[in-house]
Amino acid sequence: MTPTAGSGPDRVVLSVDAMGGDKGAAAVVAGMAKAADKNRGVAFILHGPASELRPLIDRAGLSDRTEIRDAPGIVAMTDKPSQVLRKGKDTSMWSCVEAVRAGEASVAVSCGNTGALMAISTIRLRRIEGVNRPAIACLWPSRNAGGFNVMLDVGADIRADQDDLLQYALMGASYAKAGLGLDRPRVGLLNVGTEEHKGRAELKVAHDLIARIAPRANFDFVGFVEGGDIPSDRVDVIVTDGFTGNVALKTGEGTATLIRDLLGQAFRYSSLSRLAAVLALTSLRRLQKRIDPRQVNGGVFLGLSGTVVKSHGSADATGISAAIKLAFRLAESGFNDRVAARVAAANAMRAEDGSDNRIGGAA
């Protein structure tokens, strides 16, 4: 059978790394099947050991829309990014990113080692001109009508200066437009208090830079927000450095998981509460779906000349399916070209500002 991945004007081609996740290639293929079931226009290039992948793809009924690309090496969760850059050219992860670089696929999806994926992506896809640090954006369950907020950076880098935070604001606003379909996203800068005199010096400078560019970049800047605002409807995009964002993301997930487990215990407590659980099953499933981290699985690398979706390492078929659906939506919307255009326009504006903008930079 002829692989159809690279061809066809009405098909979106996604490049998928079969290896490196905790649950192995079988979970990845099951996630692909789940996502493909509802998106007839998607095709795949799947990277990994061909002899292992072929039977999985055949059994899943995906052989008419999947090209398997043999890559024997696997990036382990414990591999250091620097090692992978030196010796990882035969890995499924490298091959997966390479297909996007070569223009064969629109978006890459991997559930492997985040540091290694970021390193390979940065080296092979390069940064968008004008972006110093790429960022990882995640979706966060919220009180907003769409059900989600965007937060970045959640772990691409462990630091960010004022210019990086400005770029995160621009990239996050673009992502909210493409990923959440918002016309005019509200962007907030994460701090320890909403008063303007609080927080680190670089946050105050970033506050002024973002406030100045917001009207011309078609988003609203709501100023400083706090941790409690991350799931709120005060804001659509939360901007922060990758250390703080990563801690917040994992804290939120840990809290949600704890409450879900305690809720389960509460319902098993007595025969009356077990009966209640049966009666409330539909409502509880709806809640579960709303706060299940698997449903919002997929961090997106922003700031590179090519889109990469990082799925959770422990993702199962449901989680991988969510990541693939997100990749499909971003590919369809021509998201990455929009980000590049927005960053270029903002940099042009800042250059026009001239010395005015340097006041902020020097503070």
Nearest residue (CB) to a copy of itself, 91 versus 149? 149
Greatest alpha-carbon span in the chain: 71
Q: In what order do the strands lie in the sheet with 186-190?
A: 66-70, 42-48, 12-17, 107-110, 307-310, 299-302, 135-141, 148-152, 237-239, 186-190, 220-225
Q: How far is the CB of 78 from a copy of itself (least distance, A)?
A: 7
Which value, in Å, is the radius of gyration of the alpha carbons in the chain? 21
Q: Three-class SS of residue 280?
A: coil
**Six-digit token string for 121:** 């992506």
Token pair 């098909």 in the structure block, residue = 11
C-alpha to C-alpha distance for 348 and 226, rounded to whole angstroms: 31
Minimum CB distance to a copy of itself, residue 320 (Å)? 20
Supply the minimum distance, in Å, between the C-beta of residue 319 and a copy of itself: 15
* Least distance between a copy of itself and beta carbon 69 (Å): 29
Q: Shortest distance, CB of residue 181 to a copy of itself, whole angstroms?
A: 22
Choose between 90 and 195: whose C-beta lies nearer to a copy of itself. Answer: 195
Q: Measured from the CB atom, is 172 or 242 closer to a copy of itself? A: 242
Q: How far is the CB of 331 from a copy of itself (least distance, A)?
A: 29
CB of 53 to a copy of itself, least distance (A): 29
Residues that bind a copy of itself (CB under 8 A): 78, 80, 115, 141-143, 155, 158-159, 190, 192, 195, 197-200, 226-232, 240, 242-244, 246-259, 261-263, 265-267, 269-270, 272-273, 275-280, 282-284, 286-287, 290-291
C-alpha 13/C-alpha 4 separation (Å) is 9
CA dist., res. 168 & res. 360, Å (int): 17
Identify which of 165, 139, 136, 184 has the alpha carbon closest to the alpha carbon of residue 307: 136
Of 228 and 354, CB closest to a copy of itself: 228
Q: Please say whether the beta carbons of 178 and 341 come within 8 A.
A: no
Query: β-strand 107-110 against 186-190: which pairing, if any?
Result: unpaired
Strand partners, 185: none
Closest separation in Å from C-beta 198 to a copy of itself: 8
Query: Cis (ω within 30 of 0) for the bond into 153?
Result: yes
Distance CA 136, CA 321 (A): 19
User: Tokens 């917040």 map to which residue?
Assistant: 248
β-pairing, 186-190 with 237-239? Answer: parallel
| Residue 258 Cβ vs a copy of itself, minimum distance, rounded to whole Å | 5
Q: Which is nearer to a copy of itself, 280 or 348 (CB)?
A: 280
Considering beta carbons, is residue 7 or 251 the nearer one to a copy of itself? 251
The residues near 131 (Cβ < 8 Å, ≥ 6 apart) are 167, 171, 303, 304, 343
Of 57 and 138, nearer to a copy of itself (C-beta) is 138
- Cβ-based nearer residue to a copy of itself, 269 or 358: 269
Between CA 309 and CA 297 the distance in angstroms is 9
Closer residue to a copy of itself, CB minimum distance, 279 or 351: 279
